[in-house]
């Protein structure tokens, strides 16, 4: 079993869009690579991440961690012979218990779907000895279409974004001023230090350090990216000490002593800018870049993945360079996957128009993000540990990350591709913006997820009065139905659909009355569906209907008798021999199970053939002639969700039937 040892020495894997994802489960106390199950899951992670995008790679890692949590609980509750100790021990029943574990702990069922998909694809594609697991298909939860922001919330979002962009433009001006500013020299430092040293203990000066010149001094001295960590630590120690004389501080030590936490000179000049705040002026933060990425989503109508797939060196379509015009065509190529048996990448191109002259257009927002991150990109290019195909070199959304990390460009500079940094940036923006949507405060990225694109779509529909088909074309949807029903379920959209349906209804009636209608119309004499005798029978607790009866007051099965006035037929065991029986698509799983039950009954007792032969023949005829394969497949999926749907004696089912 080669797969158990193939990647034992590796601790991370790189996705198709060149994002490196670490194997964080290796640090778990209960994880041991020498165990077959753990070694197999590590192999699945290493192979699976390389076959998909970073987002699905992170989801696979979450699924593996969830499965490890599950196996720890499961193995502690069952006898040793039933424990899951390798991938080959994972069967349908064990995986069903895993699904129930996720639901019980209110974790996403998509984790089970992602892990099952990885098991299947990796075993099929690679011949490394990994077992082919036979797991049932997991029915995905019905997705709830995203609700657009209300008009008031959208206006507040625009106001907050304009304010944020203005702040970032000021940050660019600050860096331009730093580039031409005069750093502090040693004589100036000597004079300022002598004045600050003249204050007695406890006295404070109103003097503050100039942020522009302080930043220029740090850049001139190469602090911190062009220094060794030992030198950085020594400078921090000197900045906090009181033993140095006024002439003993260099310009760098002077700036640090004024700005660093618990710096000696900071006690005498407490109003000077803090070093953390100074770095926020010099370099972009996750909040800066996340704000721009969200505004780009709103302006262009792109989703998050498309925005993050932007290439800072290639986001203009070549046609934009052919005409000297204010309008440009923007391009983003999202690498969905390299899989499906293709040995090459097949990115999905997304286009959008934008303006050169509008400061807040998508084009200028991308330029602003790229300009802000230029320093970070230059530092990454000089770092020999950063590979040429690192996705950060192409991303316009770079920033300085956690200050507790080492002062190394490869470790300190990150992009928004990492979900944790995206969440922090979005949360910071929402904390400052204080947005409220219909009385509900927007606090985290989950409150805005997928809503900016939908808001943009709805706004464009209202503003330009364009047909749904054109909107679908602009947004790259497969068909107008997707645009109309999936991307917008707001009250406004529903009202618009009702209005359009009413218009169609009026047109249809007018054409029918004037004889202009062309097509087939139902027989007006057929009123069985409208008859009060028509019943749809449903078993309590099931979302699918059992079947329907056209007239429960006059059954016609062999041996039936005339019912007393007001009485209804309750012989469910005779339904399929009655001409009032109506089979629905919802009925298919019940019919499938009934047929299987009768076949098993006949196998156990051959004498039962004469009892059930007629009913079984009708069931086989209905199922064999149904024709809709997708409906039959959905019925099988529904059937697999239950141990049993119907009892053998259908007469006992009457007490559990609902109309």
Chain segment 380-419, per-residue pLDDT in tens: 998 888 888 888 999 999 999 866 567 788 888 999 988 8
- E runs forming strands in 466-602: 535-539, 547-549, 581-582
List the one residue out of 340, 322, 270 whose CA is nearest residue 117: 340
Q: What local confidence, expressed as pLDDT, does residue 447 receive?
A: 86
Chain segment 80-89, per-residue pLDDT in tens: 888 899 999 9
List the one residue out of 51, 12, 16, 19 whose CA is nearest residue 387: 19
Stronger pLDDT, 322 or 114, i.e. the higher one: 114
Between CA 505 and CA 484 the distance in angstroms is: 19
Lowest mean pLDDT of 372-386, 484-498, 640-654, name the range. Answer: 484-498
Structure tokens at 127: 């011949």
CA 328 to chain CA centroid, Å, is: 29
Asked whether residue 522 carries a pLDDT value surpassing 60, the answer given is no
Cβ proximity of 138 and 638 under 8 Å = no
Q: What local confidence, expressed as pLDDT, does residue 489 receive?
A: 55
Per-residue pLDDT averaged across 26-46, rounded?
91
Strand, coil or helix: what is 556?
Answer: coil
- What is the residue-averaged pLDDT of the chain? 84
97: enclosing H helix or E strand = helix 92-104
List the one residue out of 538, 532, 576, 525 whose CA is nearest residue 551: 532
Q: What local confidence, expressed as pLDDT, does residue 323 receive?
A: 65
Tell me what percent of the residues of the chain surpass a pLDDT of 90: 32
Between CA 185 and CA 478 the distance in angstroms is: 64
Backbone phi, psi, residue 180, to 5°: -110, 0
Per-residue pLDDT averaged across 274-301, rounded?
94
Q: What local confidence, expressed as pLDDT, does residue 553 receive?
A: 85
Secondary structure (DSSP) of 371-401: HHTHHHHHHHHH-TTS-TT-GGGT-S-EEE-
Quick one: pLDDT band at residue 486, thresholds 50, 70, 90?
Answer: low
Quick one: pLDDT band at residue 339, thresholds 50, 70, 90?
Answer: very low
Between CA 278 and CA 193 the distance in angstroms is: 20
Q: What local confidence, expressed as pLDDT, does residue 217 receive?
A: 95
Chain segment 165-180, per-residue pLDDT in tens: 999 999 999 999 999 9
Per-residue pLDDT averaged across 636-643, rounded?
84
329: enclosing H helix or E strand = strand 327-334
Residues paired with 349 in a beta bridge:
333
Q: What local confidence, expressed as pLDDT, does residue 229 receive?
A: 84
Q: In the β-sheet with 657-658, what is the strand arrangement from edge to edge?
A: 581-582, 547-549, 535-539, 657-658
Structure tokens at 239: 């900045």
Per-residue pLDDT averaged across 418-438, rounded?
92
Per-residue pLDDT averaged across 538-545, rounded?
82
Quick one: pLDDT band at residue 137, thresholds 50, 70, 90?
Answer: confident
Cβ proximity of 23 and 11 under 8 Å = yes
Per-residue pLDDT averaged across 89-117, rounded?
90
Residue 17: cis peptide before it, omega within 30 degrees of 0: no
List the one residue out of 397, 393, 329 whose CA is nearest residue 361: 329
DSSP state of 444: S
Structure tokens at 116: 């099952």
Per-residue pLDDT averaged across 116-123, rounded?
92
Structure tokens at 197: 């040293």
Strand, coil or helix: what is 330?
Answer: strand
Structure tokens at 520: 């087939």
Quick one: pLDDT band at residue 531, thresholds 50, 70, 90?
Answer: very low
| Long-range contacts of the stretch 605-614 (C-beta < 8 A, 24+) | 614/577
Q: Residue holding tokens 């040995």? A: 343
Q: What local confidence, expressed as pLDDT, does residue 193 receive?
A: 87
Q: What local confidence, expressed as pLDDT, does residue 481 receive?
A: 64
Whether the model clears a pTM of 0.85, i.e. scores above it, the answer is no
Per-residue pLDDT averaged across 306-317, rounded?
92
Quick one: pLDDT band at residue 236, thresholds 50, 70, 90?
Answer: confident
Q: What local confidence, expressed as pLDDT, does residue 338 receive?
A: 47
Per-residue pLDDT averaged across 5-16, rounded?
88
Q: What local confidence, expressed as pLDDT, does residue 63 receive?
A: 94
Q: What local confidence, expressed as pLDDT, does residue 380 receive?
A: 92
Quick one: pLDDT band at residue 378, thresholds 50, 70, 90?
Answer: very high
Cβ proximity of 64 and 70 under 8 Å = no
Backbone phi, psi, residue 40, to 5°: -65, -40
Between CA 61 and CA 115 the distance in angstroms is: 9
Asked whether residue 490 carries a pLDDT value surpassing 80, the answer given is no
Q: What local confidence, expressed as pLDDT, does residue 637 receive?
A: 87
Q: What local confidence, expressed as pLDDT, does residue 295 receive?
A: 96
Asked whether residue 254 carries a pLDDT value surpassing 70, the answer given is yes
Structure tokens at 414: 């990150």
Asked whether residue 524 carries a pLDDT value surpassing 90, the answer given is no
Asked whether residue 342 carries a pLDDT value surpassing 90, the answer given is no
Strand, coil or helix: what is 632?
Answer: helix
Cβ proximity of 454 and 147 under 8 Å = yes
Structure tokens at 484: 């109309």
Q: Which residues contact 382 (CB under 8 A, 6 or more apart)?
A: 409
Q: What local confidence, expressed as pLDDT, does residue 517 receive?
A: 61
Asked whether residue 469 carries a pLDDT value surpassing 80, the answer given is no
Asked whether residue 340 carries a pLDDT value surpassing 60, the answer given is no
Secondary structure (DSSP) of 563-574: PPTT-----GGG
Q: What local confidence, expressed as pLDDT, does residue 528 receive?
A: 44
Quick one: pLDDT band at residue 246, thresholds 50, 70, 90?
Answer: low
- Using alpha carbons only, what angle is made at residue 351 by residues 349 and 354, rounded to the nearest 5 degrees? 155
Q: Which residues contact 155 (CB under 8 A, 6 or more apart)?
A: none
Q: What local confidence, expressed as pLDDT, does residue 182 receive?
A: 95
Q: What local confidence, expressed as pLDDT, does residue 520 receive?
A: 53
Q: Which residues contact 72 (CB under 8 A, 6 or more apart)?
A: 30
Chain segment 500-516, per-residue pLDDT in tens: 778 888 887 887 777 77
List the one residue out of 584, 386, 458 whose CA is nearest residue 150: 458
Quick one: pLDDT band at residue 529, thresholds 50, 70, 90?
Answer: very low
Structure tokens at 171: 């940050």
Between CA 57 and CA 464 the distance in angstroms is: 39
Q: What local confidence, expressed as pLDDT, does residue 175 receive?
A: 94
Between CA 37 and CA 40 the distance in angstroms is: 5
Asked whether residue 243 carries a pLDDT value surpassing 80, the answer given is no
What is the chain's length?
Answer: 659
Cβ proximity of 259 and 266 under 8 Å = yes
């Amino acid at each position: 079993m080669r797969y158990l040892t193939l990647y034992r020495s590796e601790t991370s894997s790189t996705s198709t869009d060149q994002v490196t994802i670490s194997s964080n489960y290796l640090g778990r106390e209960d994880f041991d690579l020498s165990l077959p199950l753990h070694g197999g899951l590590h192999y699945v992670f290493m192979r699976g991440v390389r076959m998909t995008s970073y987002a699905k790679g992170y989801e696979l890692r979450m699924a593996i961690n969830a499965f490890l949590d599950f196996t720890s609980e499961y193995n502690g509750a069952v006898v040793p012979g039933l424990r899951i100790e390798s991938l080959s021990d994972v069967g349908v029943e064990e995986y069903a218990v895993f699904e129930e574990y996720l639901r019980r702990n209110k974790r996403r069922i998509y984790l089970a779907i992602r892990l099952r998909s990885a098991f299947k694809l990796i075993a099929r594609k690679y011949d490394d000895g990994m077992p082919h697991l036979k797991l049932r298909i997991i029915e995905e939860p019905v997705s709830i279409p995203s609700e657009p922001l209300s008009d008031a919330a959208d206006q507040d979002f625009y106001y907050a974004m304009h304010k944020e962009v203005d702040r970032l433009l000021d940050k660019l001006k600050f860096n331009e001023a730093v580039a031409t500013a005069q750093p502090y020299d040693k004589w100036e430092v000597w004079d300022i230090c002598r004045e600050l040293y003249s204050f007695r203990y406890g006295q404070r000066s109103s003097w503050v350090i100039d942020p522009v010149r302080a930043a220029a001094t740090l850049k001139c001295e190469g602090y911190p990216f062009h220094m060794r960590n030992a030198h950085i630590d020594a400078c921090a120690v000197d900045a906090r000490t009181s033993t140095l004389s006024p002439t003993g501080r260099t310009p760098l030590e002077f700036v640090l002593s004024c700005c660093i936490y618990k710096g000696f000179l900071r006690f005498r000049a407490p109003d000077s800018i803090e070093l953390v705040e100074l770095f926020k002026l010099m370099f972009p933060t996750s909040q800066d870049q996340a704000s721009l990425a969200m505004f780009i989503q709103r302006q262009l109508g792109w989703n998050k993945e498309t925005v993050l797939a932007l290439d800072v060196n290639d986001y203009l379509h070549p046609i934009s360079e052919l005409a000297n015009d204010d309008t440009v065509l923007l391009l983003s190529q999202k690498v969905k996957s390299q899989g499906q048996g293709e040995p090459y990448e097949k990115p999905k191109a997304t286009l959008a128009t934008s303006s050169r002259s509008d400061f807040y257009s998508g084009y200028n927002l991308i330029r602003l993000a790229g300009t802000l991150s230029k320093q970070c990109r230059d530092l990454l290019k000089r770092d020999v540990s950063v590979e040429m195909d690192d996705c950060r070199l192409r991303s316009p959304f770079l920033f300085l990350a956690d200050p507790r990390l080492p002062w190394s460009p490869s470790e300190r500079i990150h992009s928004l591709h990492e979900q944790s940094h995206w969440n922090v940036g979005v949360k910071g923006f929402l904390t400052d913006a204080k947005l409220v949507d219909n009385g509900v405060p927007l606090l985290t990225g989950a409150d805005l997820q997928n809503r900016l694109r939908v808001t943009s779509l709805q706004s464009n529909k209202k503003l330009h009065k364009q047909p749904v088909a054109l909107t679908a074309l602009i947004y790259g949807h497969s068909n107008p139905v997707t645009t109309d029903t999936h991307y917008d379920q707001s009250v406004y959209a529903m009202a618009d659909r009702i209005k359009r349906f009413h218009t169609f209804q009026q047109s249809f009636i007018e054409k029918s009355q004037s004889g202009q209608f062309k097509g087939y119309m139902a027989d007006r004499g057929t009123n069985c569906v409208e008859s009060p005798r028509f019943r749809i029978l449903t078993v309590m607790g099931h979302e699918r209907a059992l079947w329907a009866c056209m007239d429960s007051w006059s059954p016609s099965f062999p041996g039936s008798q005339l019912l007393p006035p007001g009485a209804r037929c309750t012989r469910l065991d005779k339904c399929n021999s009655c001409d009032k029986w109506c089979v629905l698509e919802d009925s298919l799983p019940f019919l499938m199970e009934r047929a299987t039950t009768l076949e098993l009954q006949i196998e156990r007792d051959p004498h039962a053939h004469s009892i059930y032969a007629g009913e079984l023949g009708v069931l086989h005829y209905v199922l064999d002639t149904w024709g809709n394969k997708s409906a039959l497949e959905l019925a099988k999926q529904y059937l697999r969700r239950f141990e049993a749907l119907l009892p053998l004696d259908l007469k006992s089912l009457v007490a559990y039937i609902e109309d």
